[in-house]
A and B are shown apart, each in its own frame.
Chain A
Amino acid sequence: MELLLYSLFFAIICLDKKHAFQFALSQPILTSTFIGLLLDAVVPAMYFGLLVQLLWLGNLPFGASKTPEGNISSIIGTWLYVEYHAVYAANGQFIILFLFIYIVIISYLASKTETYLRHVNVRLFDYAYESMQEDTNPRIGKVLSAALGLQLLANWITIVSTLLTGRLILNHLLNYISTDLSEIWQFVDVAIWAAGIGLVISVYKDIKLKKIIVGIALITLLTIEVI
């Protein structure tokens, strides 16, 4: 019951990304905090939320372009991280590796679902247009409610199904992963941070800005090392 209620809450939050309001509530840095507060594990939730936050900032949803649905997948990743990181602490980096791959796959599938729903919205649009006769009241509000409802349902199904699937896979997988192999995935979080930084820097097209970023980074690094 808790799973259904919480996932419904996050399915509603995810509507904020594109479909309604757009107050940026669905950004991983915020949703991970909500997850942490709900599951009483704020620190690990925030850690994972921060780790994946930068990955999605480089995706610019210009016009009708399709971008990965990173916000919804980050919710699932953070939720699973909170559930597993403490129990399997010795395999922490492996859990991060698995969840990273898992959220990338979910972001792709959720993006495909959204594309499909945009096609469904064409039918809703046709219905609104064709039913607009001279003696009827406009049905735009009803049509928009239907579009929002379908998106909410898709979000909810995505969260619940991928959470359950993720649990199933992790429960199975973690029985076979030896802690002796932890050296192999010890740098996974470094790579995720670096990929996130690279993706954010790609937003700044001007070469001068890129040079300034490198300069600030070097000064910060040297200052911290000296201190």
Chain B
Amino acid sequence: MQRNVFIKVFIRSFFMQSGWNYKSLLSLGFCFSILPVARYLYKKDKAKTAAFVKRHLSFINGHPFFMSYALGATIRLEEEIEKGNSGVEQLVKFKEALIGPLGALGDQIFWASVKPATFTLGVLGFFLIENINLRLTFLCLLAILYNVPHLYIRIVGIIRGYKEGFSVFKFLKIENFKQIRVFYSILGVISIGLVTGWIAASYINLNIPAIIVFVLSLGFALYTKSKKSKTYLAMIFPVVIALIVGFINYIV
């Protein structure tokens, strides 16, 4: 496989979620990403290209960054199919089996670790830095902090997936991404701890009603989101608490 095919697949993979739909989820994005492979393998054979496109329009889901592993492995398997060493059925089953691991890994690493850690650090940084130019520089650092693992997974996923083929399964375990997860978890925990302490000190300043609002709001939001998964309630009710306390304060 030529290098420029991999580059095209990599660039197209940024549109993985562009055609997200309730019937086949990521299949439009996946098929769009892998189309250069069909053009390389089948050139002007329209019948084979059509068959290729149809098999990659089948249902698929996963974390958009981690889909790179599925792309890499699929490129390898498509080569095998073209050579006659593998069957289409195996490829379809393989892709279906990848849905679980790719989704679970990406969600845990990016949505539950990298993203909250990076942007909580951003909030902390803005508290500590008052100079506007330094804040802008800090924003660039945040973008790097988020996008280094993002681009790393997208690039390495395609390469590793291609090298491993079917065996990429063995690699898709949380232990193999432990370093990223641990680093961002530590960063996130420290950042949110410092932000909490900072806001408590800055806003409360030993004002009893403010302490009541802060503690009740935080506790309620945490409980409602963790135990009940009610996001809107977790956001709205703290403000209701603030208005009740404010109203009592106003009357008294």
Interface contacts (Cβ under 8 Å), in number, total 303
Per DSSP, are chain B's interface residues mostly helix, strand or loop, or mixed? helix
- Please report which residues of chain B, range 79-114, place their CB below 8 angstroms from some CB of chain A when the two chains form the complex: 103, 107, 111-112
Contact of A187 (CB < 8 Å), options: B111, B202, B245 = B245
Q: A147 within 8 Å of B by Cβ?
A: yes
CB distance from B214 to the nearest CB of A (A): 5
Interface size on B, residues (CB 8 A): 96
**Structural contact, A46 and B126, CB atoms closer than 8 A:** yes
Name the residue of chain A whose CB is nearest to the CB of B58: A129
B24 / chain A contacts, CB cutoff of 8 Å = 125
**Structural contact, A57 and B115, CB atoms closer than 8 A:** yes
Contact of B135 (CB < 8 Å), options: A19, A46, A144, A209 = A46
**Structural contact, A216 and B189, CB atoms closer than 8 A:** yes
Cα distance A78–B126 when bound, in Å? 16
**Structural contact, A144 and B32, CB atoms closer than 8 A:** yes
Name the residue of chain B whose CB is nearest to the CB of A36: B132
Chain A residues touching B, range = 35 or more
Q: B14 within 8 Å of A by Cβ?
A: yes
B219 / chain A contacts, CB cutoff of 8 Å = 198
B49 / chain A contacts, CB cutoff of 8 Å = 137-138
**Structural contact, A126 and B200, CB atoms closer than 8 A:** no
Q: B1 within 8 Å of A by Cβ?
A: no
**Structural contact, B123 and A50, CB atoms closer than 8 A:** yes
A-B contact pairs, 13 of them (CB 8 A): A27-B122, A29-B126, A54-B123, A55-B235, A58-B116, A58-B231, A58-B234, A100-B239, A138-B53, A185-B243, A187-B213, A191-B238, A195-B221
Cα distance A151–B116 when bound, in Å? 25
B150 / chain A contacts, CB cutoff of 8 Å = 22-24
Residue in B27, B118, B225 with the greatest tally of chain A CB atoms within 10 Å? B225
20 A-B pairs besides A64-B25, A119-B21, A119-B22 with CB distance below 8 A are A24-B146, A53-B122, A57-B120, A58-B234, A61-B111, A125-B24, A128-B57, A137-B49, A138-B31, A138-B35, A140-B28, A183-B250, A185-B242, A185-B246, A192-B239, A194-B213, A194-B216, A194-B218, A214-B196, A216-B196
CB distance from B112 to the nearest CB of A (A): 6
Cα distance A193–B32 when bound, in Å? 42
A197 / chain B contacts, CB cutoff of 8 Å = 192, 195-196, 199, 218, 221
**Structural contact, A147 and B225, CB atoms closer than 8 A:** no
**Structural contact, A216 and B242, CB atoms closer than 8 A:** no
**Structural contact, A104 and B46, CB atoms closer than 8 A:** no
B235 / chain A contacts, CB cutoff of 8 Å = 55, 104, 195, 199
Q: A169 within 8 Å of B by Cβ?
A: no
